[in-house]
Chains A and B, each alone.
Chain A
Amino acid sequence: MSENNSGLDFSMVIASIVHDMKNSLSSVMTAHGKWSQGLPEEQRNTAERGVIDYEFANLNGMMVQLLGLYKLGVNQLPLRPEYHEMDDFIEAQLAWHQEVLDSRGISASHDVDVLCPLGFFDRELVGSVVANVIINAIRFARGAIHISAWEEDGQLVLGINDDGPGYPPALIESQSAYVQGINPVSGSTGLGLYFAARIAERHERNGVVGRVELANGGSLGGGYFKLYLP
């Protein structure tokens, strides 16, 4: 990419390696899924299985996020919003995480406000944000997560709630600093928040931009992540 060949564009090197890593991981995941289907029942649902499934999903989510951040950095993140059925979108997310949820014994539920069955957003981008939030919720949940979609002041809100201990107060207090990238963006939580905020704000309608909000509480009492899409 650089004009002279004096050095490597390190972020591009990382991005292309992550891209290949993601493909490798994808093959491993598919092969593992197939292999474990063939196991006898008693060997299938072990604690190790839970770890493997969880970390597969976690790794995949981090790589998607890394590639997304790279593209965001070089201004190449495509945005392609469309109308989507909210129950379809949420069910697809939960189906994709089904093995992890099962092996961790977490029950997942969802509800969609009947008055707003459709949302207008980029499915891939918002999907990658929601996937990361779900992975995070699964890590801390005791036994349940709940996803809901409703309308608030003409905006679509996607809420992801768990019954874990909740986000650390310090994180909630300084969330705007993470969102703006002021706090050193290190660790997956801060990075995830930064990525989510960037994706949210690419969704714009008549001057209103999307945003994210962290809180504790909700019906399950634990961490409560909200994504606002105008």
Chain B
Amino acid sequence: MLAYNQKSFLIVDDFSDFRSSVRSMLRELGVKDVDTADTGEQALKACAQKRYDFVLHDFNLGDGKKNGQQVLEDLMLDKLLSHESVFIMVTAENSQAMVMSALEWEPDAYLTKPFNRAGLAQRLEKLVQRKTLLKPILQALDKGLPMEVLAACTRLTQEDARYAPLCHRYKAEALRDLNQHEPLEAFLKTILADRPTPWAFGALGNLLFKRKNLAEAQDVYERALKTFPMLPALYDGLADVLVARNDGKRAQQVLEDAVKLSPLAVRRQSLLGKLAMENQDFDSASRAFRQAVNQGQYSRFKNPETNLGFAQALISKGGDAGLDARSRVELNQTLTDVAKDNNDDQGIQVRTRLIKATSLQRSNPEEAAKLAEEAVSRLQSMDQFLSAEAALSVAAQLQNLGQDEAGVGVLKSCAEIYGDDPQVMQNIAKQTDDPAILGSNKIAIDYNQQGVRAYREGRFVEAQALFRQALALQPKNISIALNLAQGLLHAKGVPITGAGLEECRACLRTVGHMPESDARFERYQKLRNRAFGA
């Protein structure tokens, strides 16, 4: 028997009857330290204050509340729960929670209600045994050391080959974290050749997707869904691949299937909304965004883009007929919420005003004009960079609202900031023929490319000069500024001078206005830590 009197427990359930009944079962097992919570928020707070050895969490804590899966994700992502602790998901019906679950974060065990004391004791005992067996792996995970995880897996497998399958997943995740792509691919394929395994399908699809091997990734997901048609996470993976292959229509269908299985997923609903917008399916778009906004309230994936997307979808759905009364209420609500939540975000303030103005253009042109002017004046005093996508839609709205000059300004700065991305330039070309915008950055981008070549070939001083020339022409271009910063900081054999460091810091200060959602944000952070000290 376990020494339960040393262990701490947290019971999370919205029914007090259930909490007290589990508490008394635990008492009979000798447990002394039991805390309870009735919402996910409380559970997170409790775990932030105290390290629990066991968490017994009810999956369904009521409509519109955080569910057990969301709490588990929060606990793991915020590192509020050690890998050595045991998380048990308690469900009323066995399959429901599993359909909802993401493949990445799974509880240590599911326990179906009703259960008795003997059943609970058996599960606890066995889970502790397993955690003890895997202890070296779990400790390495807590420390965030994938190399050590790998070594621990190898050791365990050598000690007792019969338990090797229990290490598979830890090993695959460690290889992923170490970017050991080839060994990971080979390993996952061996597992799948032996047995179709849901997580291994997901991991292989994801890896192939990351390595831009899109056709094979699609094939993997399609095979996986033939065997496991009830796992929404696999649909998500397939949709990502289809989007990358420019098949937005099918990607939308795939996500529609996934939300039928599991509607409670903020990211899935927002991506669906976005795809439906692109496919001009405004009914589906507003439905999906509405779901995403409502669910997002309690989710860590709450995102202002969802509210803005919802408002935009409602306007497009109304079309020439304008908004009906219900849609208008929804639109105002969602814009008010997002503006309030993002009070300090100038970009969001501008965009909410423009969307509101667009919605009022017919019914109240005076108010629309007033809002548009307000947006323009905020725009002019703004340092922050809009994302390319946001800039393009802002430009279109400004033109539509008669603020042509401001619209052109936004396109111009978008071309400067993102001009090295041909996709962005193509989208800009859809809105303007102005050669001053479309051609202005050609020379700078050419210098930049030469600079990249020089840097790769180890001609660091030359690379710096080229990047510098490029940046002088396009001072806000994120790629060029990052390249110059990196060229100054990481030039082998050319130690950075005081002036060089100042120049590097100036580059980073300028592009520090980039949106956090930008793919290069992580690279920027690393350079910044280096240049300014962490």
Contact = CB atoms under 8 A, between A and B. Distances in A.
B112 A124 contact: yes
A117 B163 contact: yes
Dominant SS at the A interface?
helix
Interface string A106-133: 0000000001111010011001100000
Contacts of A81: 195-198
Contacts, number: 104
Nearest to B18: A30
A205 B194 CA distance: 8
A96 B116 contact: yes
A26 B113 contact: yes
A92 interface: yes
Interface in A27-41: 27, 29-31, 33-34, 37
B196 to A, nearest CB: 8
Contact of A96 (B21, B115, B228): B115
A175 to B, nearest CB: 26
Interface of A: 19, 22-23, 25-27, 29-31, 33-34, 37, 60, 64, 67, 71, 75-83, 85, 88, 91-92, 95-96, 98-99, 115-118, 120, 123-124, 127-128, 204-205
A96 B112 CA distance: 11
A117 B162 contact: yes
Nearest to A22: B93
Contact of A67 (B93, B99, B118, B130): B93
A62 B21 CA distance: 25
A83 B166 contact: yes
A81 B119 CA distance: 22
Contact of B94 (A29, A75, A88, A124): A124
B144 interface: no
Dominant SS at the B interface?
helix
Interface string B112-124: 1111111101110
A154 B517 CA distance: 50
B98 A88 contact: no
B24 A92 contact: no
A78 B92 contact: no
A64 B94 contact: yes
10 contacts: A26-B114, A27-B114, A33-B21, A37-B24, A37-B28, A78-B230, A92-B119, A92-B126, A96-B115, A205-B196
A26 B119 CA distance: 14
A80 B198 contact: yes
